[in-house]
């Protein structure tokens, strides 16, 4: 049995009623889609196949992997339609919005919230790593809240296929600010699952202070900062943040991927397990 069977556009439209646009990324448009039979709501990710030219076999393999992914902090895939010019991925619909927007709205998070979110993201990434999947594109746009409540769970999305598509656009600035990219990617050293821990470290830093650890107007300078792993905890913004939080970040933003914490070490860190004193309010 083929993993992705060939479909016509009419097959998708016969099965789902399309609604509002939920978001866009570099490669896809995501629209609300209601199953005509069950009335269940999904998020349908529509990918232009022109972007995947020459990688059809890899995409088929990737989709078979994605279909098996099941984890409470990962957006699941329900089914997939492979039409001549587009791929339609039918995903669980989550309504809480992007972590990106919550950072923009709220500035930063309490340590308790940041710890809980980091734990959930890391558990999801650890699971993906166990399945042989490296996310490679972890950033707040690809982390979605399940619902609108302040203590909503977070879910990881946009993995697997992203890397196939990304390879076609390797690090072109067109693919977004490279704020979350690890040094070994920039140095083109060949990279594995450790790249995800770097990105998680960047996200955790932002959760606690509201601005990124590496930033410069010029991409060349930014790349330089990342490759040297040069960042600091500016006293003006970090003086009230626990030393345990800083200790964890310092062990995630390590240039050498071998010395960098892996997901197990992150999950065992006192700031994540709750063994450290974690402030619940912003001071």
Residues forming contacts to Mg ion in the complex (CB under 5 A) are 25, 142, 158
Q: How far is the CB of 179 from ligand ADP (least distance, A)?
A: 15
Sheet holding 16-24, edge to edge: 16-24, 28-35, 41-48, 86-92, 77-82
Contact 251, 261 (CB under 8 A): yes
Interface with ligand ADP (CB under 6 A), residue from 92, 106, 153, 262: 92
Query: In sequence order, what DSSP letters do the residues of 35-62 get, joined into one string?
Result: ETTT--EEEEEEEEGGGGTT-HHHHHHH
In b/e form, how buried is each residue of 48-65, taking b as 16+ CB within 10 angstroms? eeebbeebeeebeebbeb
Residue 43 binds to ligand ADP (criterion: CB under 6 A): yes
Tokens 């232009």 — which residue?
48
Residue 142 binds to ligand ADP (criterion: CB under 6 A): yes
Query: In sequence order, what DSSP letters do the residues of 123-192 get, joined into one string?
Result: HHHHHHHHTT------SGGGEEESSSSTT--EEE-S-SHHHHHHHTTTT-GGG--GGG--HHHHTT----
* Residue 172 vs residues 100, 112, 141, 161, 169: alpha-carbon distances, Å: 21, 36, 18, 17, 6
Q: How far is the CB of 77 from ligand ADP (least distance, A)?
A: 9
Q: How far is the CB of 138 from ligand ADP (least distance, A)?
A: 11
Say which of 82, 113, 137, 196 is annotated catalytic.
Answer: 137
User: Could you tell me which stretch among 91-99, 105-113, 117-125, 264-272 binds ligand ADP (CB under 6 A)?
Assistant: 91-99
Residue 25 binds to ligand ADP (criterion: CB under 6 A): yes
113 is catalytic: no
Using CB under 6 A, which residues numbered 45 to 84 contact ligand ADP?
Answer: 45, 75
Using CB under 6 A, which residues numbered 182 to 221 contact ligand ADP?
Answer: none
55 annotated as ligand-binding: yes
- 119: partner contacted, choices ligand ADP, Mg ion, none (Cβ within 5-8 A by kind): none
To 5 degrees, how large is the angle CA 143–CA 147–CA 148?
105
Interface with ligand ADP (CB under 6 A), residue from 118, 120, 126, 157: 157
Residue 98 binds to ligand ADP (criterion: CB under 6 A): yes
- 27: partner contacted, choices Mg ion, ligand ADP, none (Cβ within 5-8 A by kind): ligand ADP
Q: Reduced to 3 states, what is the DSSP secondary structure of residue 101?
A: helix
* Residue 216 vs residues 79, 186, 213: alpha-carbon distances, Å: 41, 15, 10
Nearer to ligand ADP, 144 or 222 (CB): 144
Q: How far is the CB of 101 from ligand ADP (least distance, A)?
A: 8
| Active-site annotation, residues | 137
Binding site for ligand ADP (CB under 6 A): 22-28, 30, 43, 45, 75, 91-94, 98, 141-142, 144, 157-158, 162
């Amino acid at each position: 049995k083929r993993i992705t069977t060939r479909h016509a556009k009419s097959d998708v439209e016969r099965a789902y009623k399309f609604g509002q646009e939920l978001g866009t990324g570099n490669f896809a448009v995501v629209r609300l889609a209601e199953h005509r039979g069950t009335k269940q709501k999904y998020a349908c990710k529509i990918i232009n196949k022109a972007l995947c030219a020459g990688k059809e076999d890899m995409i088929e393999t990737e989709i078979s992997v994605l279909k098996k992914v099941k984890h409470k902090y990962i957006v699941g895939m329900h089914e997939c339609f492979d039409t001549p010019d587009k791929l339609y991925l039918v995903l669980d619909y989550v309504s809480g919005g992007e972590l990106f927007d919550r950072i923009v709205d709220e500035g930063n998070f309490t340590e308790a919230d940041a710890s809980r979110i980091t734990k959930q993201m890391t558990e999801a990434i650890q699971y993906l790593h166990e399945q042989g999947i490296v996310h490679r594109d972890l950033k707040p746009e690809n982390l979605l809240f399940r619902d609108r409540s302040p203590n909503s769970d977070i879910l990881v999305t946009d993995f697997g296929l992203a890397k196939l598509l990304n390879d076609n656009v390797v690090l072109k600035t067109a693919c977004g600010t490279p704020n979350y990219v690890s040094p070994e990617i920039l140095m083109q050293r060949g990279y594995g699952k450790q790249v995800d821990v770097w990105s998680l470290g960047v996200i955790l830093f932002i959760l606690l202070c509201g601005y990124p650890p590496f930033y410069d107007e010029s991409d060349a300078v930014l790349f330089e900062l990342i490759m040297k792993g040069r960042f600091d905890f500016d006293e003006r913004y970090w003086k009230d943040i626990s030393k345990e939080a800083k200790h964890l970040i310092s062990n995630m933003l390590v240039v050498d991927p071998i010395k960098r914490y892996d997901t197990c070490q992150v999950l065992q860190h006192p700031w994540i397990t709750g063994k450290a004193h974690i402030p619940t309010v912003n001071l």
